[in-house]
Structure 1
């Protein structure tokens, strides 16, 4: 039995269908620049306003995977939290996120396989009332029992 589970961890034995967790983050120019540096994705639609104005987006947008990373933060820090192993994630990008937008990332438990410690979750990100990203995640949740 794990006596001192890391803060933010919800073990598989305590997860229930419908559980939801979320976070809010305002995407900054610095976030976009750092993501470009780390990912090496320097597409000018993310970094060059003059170029981006000439695209379908009519202005700079954050990397889609930067936005998706907020879902990872909710899963890794809140639900299930520390000790979670990502098994898969589907993503559909529905609208752009711009510098200065505040994104709310939400995960909701839709399925639990206790015997395999697997949890399925609906995931989405929104800016205000606009859903910008939707998907589904599958994770291996931590357990109080040793394997």
Structure 2
């Protein structure tokens, strides 16, 4: 009987990137509001939102941030990733019908603790930044 050391998932390298895109729909906004309880008229009420600062309804900022979470969990570092911190700055509103591309880039690898710091951004279909920030995640060891 041989004993093997558990294998480690490789850590990403500085400069690696990943992204994914999604077109934000009415259904996305309604479901997000239902799940979170955030029924702010800026998201849900066209008449009230028209009189607001954006001149119409906008998607929840955290819905956009959730797209960043999806990139981290599914692409880089990938399944099993554990979020530790996230800073966010909402730069522009996201409207229903906008196609948002969430992107992450590895800026630091902390090998000893299997932590990775990433720049996190999201842009709309016009290439305008709608969100930026930074995340620190834990990369899982292989089973």
Q: Which TM-score band applies after superposition, normalised by the shorter structure?
A: over 0.9
- Which whole-Å deviations, capped at 9, do the CAs of 1:49-88 have from their partners, x for residues lacking one? 1110000100000000000000000000111111111000
Offset, 1:112:
0.2
Q: Number of aligned pairs?
A: 137
Q: TM-score normalized by structure 1?
A: 0.90
Report matched runs for 1:11-50 at 5 Å. 11=9, 13-50=10-47
Q: CA deviation at 1:2?
A: 4.9
Q: What whole-Å deviation, never above 9, does each CA across 1:1-56 have from its counterpart, x for those lacking one?
A: 359xxxxxxx3x34110000000000000000000000000001101111100001
For the residue of structure 2 that corresponds to 1:75, the secondary structure is: helix
Match in the other structure for 1:82: 79
Structure 2 match to 1:118: 115
TM-score (norm 2): 0.92
Calculate the aligned-residue CA RMSD, in Å. Answer: 1.3
Q: Which runs of 5+ in 2 are unaligned?
A: 1-5
**Runs of 4+ with deviation above 3 angstroms:** none
